[in-house]
Amino acid sequence: MFNKVVTRVRLDNLGPLDYLEWSNVGSINLIIGRNGTGKTLLLKAIYASLKSLERFKRGAEPDALEAVLSDQLRRTFQGDKLGDLVRKGEKDGLRVAVDLGEERLSFQIAAKSDALKSVSLVADRNVYQEDSIFIPAKEILTLGRLIRETRERDYPIWYGFG
């Protein structure tokens, strides 16, 4: 088993994000900003890219990378069509590139389209063994509350209730 770490992300025209290039990605990152600035869209784009690559490289998916990526984007974003991800009024479409060391997955979506315009993969054929997970911050807070309530109910003596 080996780990792949995101080393660089580049996005053009994703929702409210006009342009983002993040080249000093660390192993743990905190993304902060006001509501509606694209934080969740950024994380979803990274997640969908990594999950697609993982599914494709496992070899369990009989489809081409384009089909796997298209399916994963639809599952992750749950929009009507892929072109809805493109920044409003942008004619050049959406461009995403995610680097994992020497590997890079990049793709484009045309504005008002429901299909990928292009997909490019520079990678070896090693098989991924780990799974990816994306949990938005608001869901983590919701889960944290549930975990705390369960812990307090099941182990009250730890919290002075018994």
The owner of tokens 């590139």 is 97
* 156: confidence class by pLDDT, cuts 50, 70, 90: low
Please report the pLDDT score of residue 16 as a whole number: 93
pLDDT digits (tens, 9 = 90+) for 128-148: 445 555 566 666 666 666 777
- On whether the CB atoms of residues 6 and 98 are closer than 8 A, the answer is yes
Spatial separation of the C-alpha atoms in residues 153 and 143, rounded to whole Å: 15
Q: How many CA atoms lie within 13 A of 45 on its CB side?
A: 29
> Does pLDDT of 153 surpass 90?
no
Spatial separation of the C-alpha atoms in residues 47 and 76, rounded to whole Å: 8
pLDDT digits (tens, 9 = 90+) for 89-102: 888 899 999 998 88
pLDDT digits (tens, 9 = 90+) for 71-83: 999 999 998 889 9
> Does pLDDT of 161 surpass 50?
no
Please report the pLDDT score of residue 59 as a whole number: 75
So where are the chain's domains? 8-124, 132-162
Q: What is the residue-wise DSSP string for 122-150?
A: E---PPP-SPP----HHHHHHHHHHHHHH
**Percent residues over pLDDT 70 in the chain:** 74
Average pLDDT over residues 19-45: 88
Strands (E) in the chain, as ranges, are 8-14, 17-22, 94-100, 103-109, 116-122
Please report the pLDDT score of residue 157 as a whole number: 57
Please report the pLDDT score of residue 139 as a whole number: 62
